[in-house]
């Protein structure tokens, strides 16, 4: 029974194509018939422009370079927030003293969305790269801390007891039991934090920047260039999808024991 | 008992010392200029001044808060009212699922903030564009969560229902939806926080009133006290909204997971 094209799969693809086609058709017709055509381009035009701008520069760089600039910013900010979030989260989850010191301040900062830091960040660091790293950091940090903390708290007491009975010292207990059992929680936090980081970088670039994916769509808006906005949105969607899948692949590698168990 | 009191005391002490250090760094030692970081006392007094003062952005504080809340709740409610049934229908009807899922998967990869320019271009900088934006951003998590909620209903429960002669609509109303409720509420909670965040982003870019607009104007003239005040308000209103939703959830969801 190794037939790849089962009846179900063919049916699924067929209905999927019908769905996508009908959306494109509605788009095409509404552009042609109604007054929407004055601001919205035809779908084919967007695809064409997407292909052209991968080679021809938009502003100073090509579409691909803009995407890479945004990704680089996300990478720096996200690494910072990930590492420091995991450290603080584990410390707050394992030690009641650290938790009671840090939690009142943390709880005050946590509900403020990363986007709301933009004005203050610009006042503090100017409009350079540091501002963007800071905004991405603030956007992703809280989520990692919250998830890591709950992971570090939910360590199975029986496992810790067993390790102690078998003569594990504090360090072994920490690295062999606490860390592995909170990894799934940490990953859930990192996953959310990565998508928030991607959103934060867009917002930061839209407010002040001269390159990046957010710059493309905001310049499109300022010039009334709808094609450029839609091309930018497609590239943002592609990158977002890629990031989410990347995290899922890494998680599958690192927590394979958990996924098999589910 | 005495241990909990001890940790409570540490918390209170840490918070107070945080405020004192902040105060000393700004007002006493002047390590940072007031246009980049205001002292806590200054922020606190700005709050009372801003309640009745329209400078520098043309509206008093309650108007900004009401404007933001109105847009956020309008967009959130319409997203939830349309998104949750769509998710349930997608999970319940296979043909509909196969047709809509690819389109939905395509749209949901675009983060809410990416919708801002096109919405502003199509609908202007008024309330309409913002409500549409928040609708899109809260719609997606509602659909995803209600979809997963229905999909993970145990088959055994359905079999029991069928054995006792339940009709299709009874299976949906009596078994699938109650099982999915915790998931649906998780979706609502995610939507609400995303909605609040994208509203702030939209107001930073184009608005005439609202909390995001207030902090953006305060930045251009270097009034850091208004920025910090605005940020704290944005944070606390977001927190209050999610607590309210949790309260509703506890009323509706019986049992829990």
Residues 6+ apart with CB under 8 A from A74: A136, A194, A197, A198, A201, A243
| Minimum distance, in Å, between the CA of residue B40 and any CA atom of chain A | 13
Selected residue of B31, B110, B122, B199 to mutate for chain A interface (largest A Cβ count, 10 A): B110
Candidates B38, B86, B111: best to mutate against A (most CBs of A within 10 A) is: B111
pLDDT, position A94? 86
Residue A39 has pLDDT above 80, yes or no: no
CA distance A80 to A141: 8
Strand partners, A61: A58
Q: What is the mean pLDDT of residues B5-31?
A: 86
* Residue in the block written with tokens 């229902």: B161
pLDDT of residue A77: 92
Instruction: Report CA B242 to chain centroid distance, whole Å.
Output: 7
Mean residue pLDDT of chain B comes to 86
Q: What is the pLDDT of residues B206-226, one digit of tens each?
A: 788 889 889 988 888 888 889
Q: Which two tokens stand for residue A256?
A: 């394979």
Mean pLDDT on A179-201: 87
Four-way CATH pick for A41-261: 2.70.98.20, 1.10.3720.10, 1.10.150.170, 1.10.240.10 = 1.10.3720.10
Q: Taking CB atoms and an 8 Å cutoff, what residues of chain B touch A112? A: 231-232, 234-235, 238
The pTM (predicted TM-score) of the whole model is 0.85
Q: What is the pLDDT of residues B216-257, one digit of tens each?
A: 888 888 888 899 999 999 999 998 998 898 888 888 776 554
Rounded mean pLDDT, B132-145: 90
- pLDDT above 60 (res A208): yes
Count how many Cα atoms sit within 13 Å of the Cα of residue B201 in the half-sphere of its side chain.
35
CB pairs under 8 A between A and B: 163
| Whether pLDDT at A261 is above 50 | no
Please write the tens of the pLDDT for every residue from B110-122.
Answer: 888 888 888 888 8
Instruction: Taking residues A196-225, report their average pLDDT.
Output: 86
Structure confidence at residue A1 (pLDDT): 44
How do residues A105-157 score in pLDDT, each as one tens digit? Answer: 888 888 898 888 988 888 888 888 889 999 999 988 988 999 999 888 888 88
Interface of A with B in 164-223 (CB under 8 A): 195, 198-199, 202-203, 206-207, 214, 217-218, 220-221
Q: What is the pLDDT of residue A4?
A: 56
- How far apart CA A52 and CA A55 sit, in angstroms, is 6
How many angstroms away from the CA of B25 is the closest CA of chain A? 15
Q: Do A16 and B222 touch (CB under 8 A)?
A: no
A224 touches chain B (CB under 8 A): yes
Q: What is the pLDDT of residue A148?
A: 92
Name the band, by pLDDT with cuts 50, 70 and 90, for residue A43: confident
Distances from the Cα of A40 to the Cαs of A51, A238, A257, B50, in angstroms? Answer: 18, 21, 49, 42
pLDDT tier for residue A81 given thresholds of 50, 70 and 90: very high
Mean of pLDDT values over B82-97 = 88
Among B18, B113, B235, beta carbon nearest to A105 = B18
> CB distance A113–B200 less than 8 Å?
yes
Taking the domains of chain B in order of start, what are their residue ranges? 1-31, 44-252
Q: Considering the domain B44-252 in this protein, what is its CATH number? A: 1.10.3720.10
């Amino acid at each position: 029974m190794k037939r790849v094209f089962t009846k179900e799969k063919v049916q699924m693809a067929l209905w999927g194509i019908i769905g996508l086609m009908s959306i494109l058709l509605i788009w095409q017709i509404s552009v042609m018939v109604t007054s929407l055509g004055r601001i919205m381009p035809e779908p084919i035009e967007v695809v064409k422009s997407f292909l052209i701008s991968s080679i021809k520069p938009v502003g100073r760089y090509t579409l691909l370079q803009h995407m890479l600039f945004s990704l680089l910013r996300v990478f720096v900010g996200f690494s910072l927030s990930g590492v420091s979030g995991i450290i603080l989260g584990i410390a707050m989850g394992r030690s009641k003293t650290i938790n009671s010191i840090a939690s009142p301040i943390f709880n005050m900062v946590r509900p403020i969305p990363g986007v709301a830091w933009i004005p203050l960040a610009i006042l503090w660091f100017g409009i350079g790269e540091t501002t963007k790293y800071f905004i991405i950091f603030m956007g992703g940090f809280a989520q990692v801390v919250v998830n890591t903390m709950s992971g570090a708290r939910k360590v199975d007491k029986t496992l810790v007891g067993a390790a102690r009975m078998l003569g594990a010292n504090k360090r072994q207990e920490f690295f062999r039991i606490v860390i592995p059992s909170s990894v799934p929680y940490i990953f859930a936090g990192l996953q959310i934090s990565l998508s928030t980081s991607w959103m934060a970088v867009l917002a930061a670039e839209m407010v002040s920047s001269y390159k990046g994916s957010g710059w493309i769509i905001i310049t499109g808006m300022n010039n009334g260039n709808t094609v450029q906005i839609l091309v930018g949105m497609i590239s943002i969607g592609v990158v977002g999808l890629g990031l989410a899948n990347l995290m899922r692949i890494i998680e599958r590698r690192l927590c394979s024991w958990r996924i098999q168990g589910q | 008992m005495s241990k909990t009191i001890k940790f409570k005391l540490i918390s209170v002490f840490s918070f107070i010392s945080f405020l004192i250090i902040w105060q000393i760094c700004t007002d006493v030692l002047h390590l940072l200029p007031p246009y980049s970081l205001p002292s806590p006392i200054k922020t606190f007094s700005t709050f009372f001044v801003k309640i009745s003062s329209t400078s520098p952005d043309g509206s008093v504080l309650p108007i900004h808060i009401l404007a933001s809340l109105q847009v956020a709740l309008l967009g959130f409610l319409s997203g939830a009212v349309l998104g949750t049934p769509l998710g349930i229908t997608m999970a319940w009807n296979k043909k509909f699922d196969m047709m809509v899922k690819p389109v939905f998967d395509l749209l949901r990869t675009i983060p809410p903030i990416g919708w801002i320019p096109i919405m502003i271009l199509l609908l202007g900088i008024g309330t309409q564009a913002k409500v549409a934006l928040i609708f899109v951003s809260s719609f997606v998590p509602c659909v995803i969560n209600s979809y997963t909620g229905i999909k993970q209903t145990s088959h055994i429960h359905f079999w029991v229902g069928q054995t006792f002669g339940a009709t299709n609509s009874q299976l949906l109303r009596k078994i699938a939806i109650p099982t999915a409720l915790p998931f649906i509420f998780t979706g609502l909670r995610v939507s609400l926080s995303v909605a609040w965040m994208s509203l702030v982003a939209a107001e930073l870019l184009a608005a005439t009133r609202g909390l995001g607009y207030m902090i953006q104007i305060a930045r251009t003239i270097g009034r850091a006290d208004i920025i910090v005040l605005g940020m704290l308000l944005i944070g606390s209103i977001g927190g209050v909204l999610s607590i309210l939703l949790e309260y509703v959830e506890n009323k509706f969801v019986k049992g829990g997971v």
